[in-house]
A and B are shown apart, each in its own frame.
Chain A
Amino acid sequence: QKEVEQNSGPLSVPEGAIASLNCTYSDRGSQSFFWYRQYSGKSPELIMFIYSNGDKEDGRFTAQLNKASQYVSLLIRDSQPSDSATYLCALGDDMRFGAGTRLTVKP
């Protein structure tokens, strides 16, 4: 069984702070990794994907991948109240999701 584990949260940060979200996985064969955001009552939407070890930056978001440690993370810089949502890690061709981490950014 492919496992995708996320820090359960909830995570609360003040506006302007850095939010750090983590995900570990069991399938060493996974080659693609995704971070989705899901607002309450809505469907998930892609934030970014990463497939190479190291960092990938897109605006205020940075994804970090370490295949040796089977670990992928998402950093949100200058967090805004509009970032309050559940963040989902997904991986592999079959797009397996973790349970998600609920983030609240307080003004």
Chain B
Amino acid sequence: EAGVAQSPRYKIIEKRQSVAFWCNPISGHATLYWYQQILGQGPKLLIQFQNNGVVDDSQLPKDRFSAERLKGVDSTLKIQPAKLEDSAVYLCASSPTDIGNYEQYFGPGTRLTVT
């Protein structure tokens, strides 16, 4: 079974530029998550989708971050405009159900550096 795919793996941009990250979850997984992991910290949830609907985006900086999950499969996370403090690893994860507490499967992450 293929795991969670993410691209690109690395991205370097200047502040005020825009950037987009892509995630393809494990086939059949209904729930998709985007986490932000700043160096030296644990991952923090940005947004959770159930199929193509948003379940939790309470910690997403909506003035600059946006995310979508068209057709309930792939997802894109965008930052526009980027700030220096957005430098982090962006992790995508998926899980097979929205009921109970189930394991989340993580992709390799996208390392973003904002200069």
Q: Are these two chains actual partners, yes or no?
A: no
